[in-house]
Each structure stands twice: as structure tokens, then as C-alpha cells.
Copies of this chain bind each other. A is one copy, B any other.
Amino acid sequence: MIEDKNQQRTNLSELGEFGLIKHLTKNFEINQPSTFKGIGDDAAVLDFKDKKAVISTDLLIEGVHFDLAYMPLKHLGYKSVVVNLSDIYAMNAKPTQITVSVAVSNRFPLEALEELFDGITLAAKEYTIDVIGGDTTSSQKGLIISITAIGEAEESELVYRNGAKSNDLLVVTGDIGSAYMGLQVLEREKQVFQVNPNNQPDLDAYTYIIERQLKPEARKDIRTLLHALEVKPTSMIDISDGLSSEIIHICKQSEVGCNLYEDKLPLDPQLINVCEEFNIDSTTVAINGGEDYELLFTISMDDYDKIKGNPNFTVIGHMTPESEGIHLVTRANTKIPLKARGWNALNG
């Protein structure tokens, strides 16, 4: 499979904790004006001046959130950062710094950690954020990654989950469901590999959906784009747990209902093909599959003309009074109540 076989193995204990941190963080640059002091003291020092600071944190556990059988460590490092930045973009803020804590069992050589940090460094460059601190320690089992992301925004720019109003349009960026089906393909290949380790998988037909799973990007462009279009969403959230779950978050916090239209869901053609191959309903995947890291937001009907025809945005529904509930309107025009985390429920 895609697993990388390291030739060289340097035992982590050869460097010691301080040597290890120094070695792993040597490529980190400071670029953000708000980073007053980075790695190297008891704490980093940040200066946001008149801006608000936003902060979000995620804990990723091997065997729960990722499987190193098909997730190369460099991709994992990259994705761990992206997942956190997505939360900052979902506030309509600009990410500026992260802290990175890593715990590893002694089965990981230095070279493995270097790969992980290569991915982290690449993401930090790509998104122009500073790595300002962290912690490196040993674990009893597996790899554990904890990242805290920090960002900044003017107060007037911030968008919360609770501002959606009845009649607002529900908009999603990009396409959805692909990350989930990418995972299904990788899981299937893992099974094949376990039966026959010499099997060379042909993954050409799955490149897009696999990339959505292994190397997702956060939508850093949307903040700039919305600003240029002079659209401020009334609410916003990122799609990490699946569309239905995130719609319900917005509805509950904004005290509104929602009609989501099945025929409007933006699906990549590759996703549709793979769903047919797996004999899975693509709507179910699009609604309940997670990890797309697209942004879901609501805008006033008055702003519709500003986003109409923009290939980054798809209007997938509209908000209703809370009393009308939260529904999926199917192609056959029947209304089904939308449930959170419905993947297992729908298939169980």
C-alpha cells in the first residue's frame, strides 16, 4: 500500500526531549505580525492589537481518527493542521498561529516524526501560520496529536453559528461526500492488502476522493472571496462531522428550521461513480459523510445575486421558522426529517 518503509531508524531517546523539540521545530519560521515571541519560553506571546483572537483545539488519536496503514505521516501532519484551521475559517477569521503537541510510542523512530513535522511545516507555509509552541512526549500506545489553532479577525467580521434567520439561503462551498467515500476505498484496499500484500492497487479511478480524505484543504479562499463580494454570512460552520449534523447545529443555535434540497447537493462525478460501484446512495454519503472541511453558511436572500453563478458556492436550501423543523426535500418532493450522525442510523 502507500505505506512508507523507512530505511533509517534513529531511536528518539538518542536526542532527549529538548534535543528532539529543537530538531523538529528548526524549520519553523515566524511570519505573522501578531507573533510577538514564538517557541522557546514557558509560553508564546501574541499581540492582536485591536483585533479579536479566535482559538480552537482538536485531539487526534491513532486508531480512532486515523489509520497509519494508509495515511502517510506527512499527509497526517498536513491534515492535522488543516482540520484545525478549518474551524478558524468557519468563524470568518484568519488563522495566524498553531501549537502542536505530539505523543508517540517507542515504535516510532525519529524519521517518522520528521515526516509528520514535514507535513506540519508544509501546512504552516501553505496557510502562512506560525508554529509557536507545543509539547513532545511519549505515549503508551500509538500516535497522539493535539493542535490548537489561533486566528484573528475584526469584531465586525466574525460569523457565529447562531445568526441564521428564517428565509436565509443555505449555501455550501465546493462539493461534499468525497472524503467519506475516499475513506471507504482506502479501507477496502487495506483489506485486499491484508489478504495479498503483493497486490498493487490501481487507484486511478479514485484519485480525487482519496485526495479529499488524505490531503484535504481548508477553504482559506472563502473569507477573501466573500469580502470581495461584499457578502457577510449570517451564520457559518465547517463541515467536519457531516452536512446534516452541521445544519442541525446552525438550526438549533439560530432557532430556525431548514429545508435542504436533495437535487441541489453538489457531488463530484467521481463520487457518484464510486457510490454506484459500492452500491451506496450518494445522497446518504453527501449528507452524513464527514471530513469534507468545506464551509456551510447562511446568507440573506438579498445577497443571492452576489453569489449567483459563482462556482465556489451552491445554494442547497433555505431556512424556515423553527416550528417547521429540519427536513430533507427529496427529488420525489417528499420531506424527510434530517437526523444528525445519521450514517449508521440510516444503514442500521
Q: Which residues of A contact B (CB under 8 A)?
A: 16, 18, 36-37, 40-50, 52-59, 61-65, 87-88, 90-91, 93, 97, 99, 101-103, 132-135, 137-142, 144, 146, 148-151, 155, 158, 160-162, 236-238, 253, 340-341
**CB pair A45 B99 closer than 8 Å:** no
Q: How far is the CA of A62 from the CA of B140 in the complex (A)?
A: 8
Instruction: Pick from B42, B55, B160: contact of A91, CB below 8 A.
Output: B42
**CB pair B40 A52 closer than 8 Å:** no
**CB pair B53 A45 closer than 8 Å:** yes
**CB pair B44 A56 closer than 8 Å:** yes
Q: How far is the CB of A220 from chain B (nearest CB, A)?
A: 15
**CB pair B90 A42 closer than 8 Å:** yes
Q: A55-B133, A139-B64, A150-B55 are in contact. Are A238 and B42 (CB under 8 A)?
A: yes
A37, A40, A57, A149 — most chain B CB neighbours (10 Å)? A57
Q: A48-B48, A146-B101 are in contact. Are A42 and B63 (CB under 8 A)?
A: no
Q: How far is the CA of A151 from the CA of B42 in the complex (A)?
A: 12
Instruction: Pick from B46, B50, B57: contact of A148, CB below 8 A.
Output: B57
Q: How far is the CA of A129 from the CA of B150 in the complex (A)?
A: 18
Residues of B within 8 Å of A90, CB to CB, are: 42-43
**CB pair B144 A142 closer than 8 Å:** no
**CB pair B103 A57 closer than 8 Å:** no
Q: How far is the CB of A280 from chain B (nearest CB, A)?
A: 23
Q: A140-B142, A141-B140 are in contact. Are A52 and B45 (CB under 8 A)?
A: yes
**CB pair A140 B63 closer than 8 Å:** yes
Q: A99-B57, A103-B144 are in contact. Are A43 and B93 (CB under 8 A)?
A: yes
Q: How far is the CA of A45 from the CA of B146 in the complex (A)?
A: 20
**CB pair A91 B45 closer than 8 Å:** yes
**CB pair B42 A87 closer than 8 Å:** yes
Residues of B within 8 Å of A134, CB to CB, are: 57
Q: A101-B59, A141-B141 are in contact. Are A41 and B160 (CB under 8 A)?
A: yes
**CB pair A37 B160 closer than 8 Å:** yes
